[in-house]
């Protein structure tokens, strides 16, 4: 084949360090927009973003040149730096060290998008910890509870 053609959709999840509720209503839309900019700079595209004050969900179409670990590291590092520059009073804003990422089929895109956009309602009933455990089990990801939380 003379060219590389890729359709890689990924649902990424990560929280603020120690799940401190710092993603306020004022910050949230700007943070999502900035993350979209970071993704675009890596030939990727933000399809949906959502979450609550202590964690974030991103659905992205990932470019063909970057590993997921590199892309998540870039999004987290650049967005954290951006928060510190644009909101200097948020000195405690940091992302947790890890992340979760799940493949999404093209046919499942709308379901995941709806799930991400319904986070506020969802977390009236479910904690982030229970949500993440459920997602990991649903996707058959083995994990050790001792190392899941920082």
Do the bridges between strand 45-52 and strand 55-61 make them parallel or antiparallel, or are there none, so unpaired? antiparallel
Tell me the C-alpha distance between 33 and 119, whole Å. 17
> By the 8 A CB rule, do 47 and 68 touch?
no
Here the tokens at position 106 are 């093209």
Question: In what helix (H) or strand (E) does residue 112 lie, and over which residues does it extend?
Answer: helix 109-117
Structure confidence at residue 150 (pLDDT): 72
pLDDT digits (tens, 9 = 90+) for 18-42: 999 999 988 999 999 999 999 999 9
Structure confidence at residue 25 (pLDDT): 86
Q: What is the mean pLDDT of residues 45-72?
A: 96
- Structure letter (DSSP) for residue 3: S
Torsion angle in degrees (nearest 10) through CA of 116, 97, 126, 106? 30
pLDDT digits (tens, 9 = 90+) for 79-105: 999 999 999 999 999 999 999 999 999
What is the CATH code for 9-147? 3.30.70.1290
Is residue 149 over pLDDT 90? no
pTM for the model stands at 0.93
Q: pLDDT band for position 9 (50/70/90)?
A: very high
Q: pLDDT band for position 1 (50/70/90)?
A: low
Here the tokens at position 87 are 């909101």
- Structure letter (DSSP) for residue 17: G
Bridge partners (DSSP) of residue 51 are 56
Q: How many C-beta atoms lie closer than 10 Å to residue 104's C-beta?
A: 19
> By the 8 A CB rule, do 48 and 110 touch?
no
């Amino acid at each position: 084949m003379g060219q590389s053609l890729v359709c890689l959709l990924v649902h990424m999840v990560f929280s603020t360090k120690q799940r401190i509720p710092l993603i306020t209503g004022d910050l949230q839309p700007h943070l999502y927009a900035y993350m979209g900019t970071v993704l675009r700079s890596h030939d990727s595209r933000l399809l949906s973003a959502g979450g609550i004050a202590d964690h974030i969900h991103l659905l992205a179409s990932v470019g063909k040149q970057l590993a997921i670990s590199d892309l998540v590291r870039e999004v987290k590092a650049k967005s954290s730096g951006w928060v510190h520059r644009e909101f200097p009073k948020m000195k405690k804003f940091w992302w947790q060290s890890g992340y979760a990422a799940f493949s999404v089929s093209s046919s499942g895109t709308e379901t995941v998008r709806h799930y991400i956009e319904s986070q506020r309602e969802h977390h009236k009933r479910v904690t982030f910890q229970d949500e993440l455990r459920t997602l990991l089990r649903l996707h058959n990801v083995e994990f050790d509870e001792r190392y899941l939380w920082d």
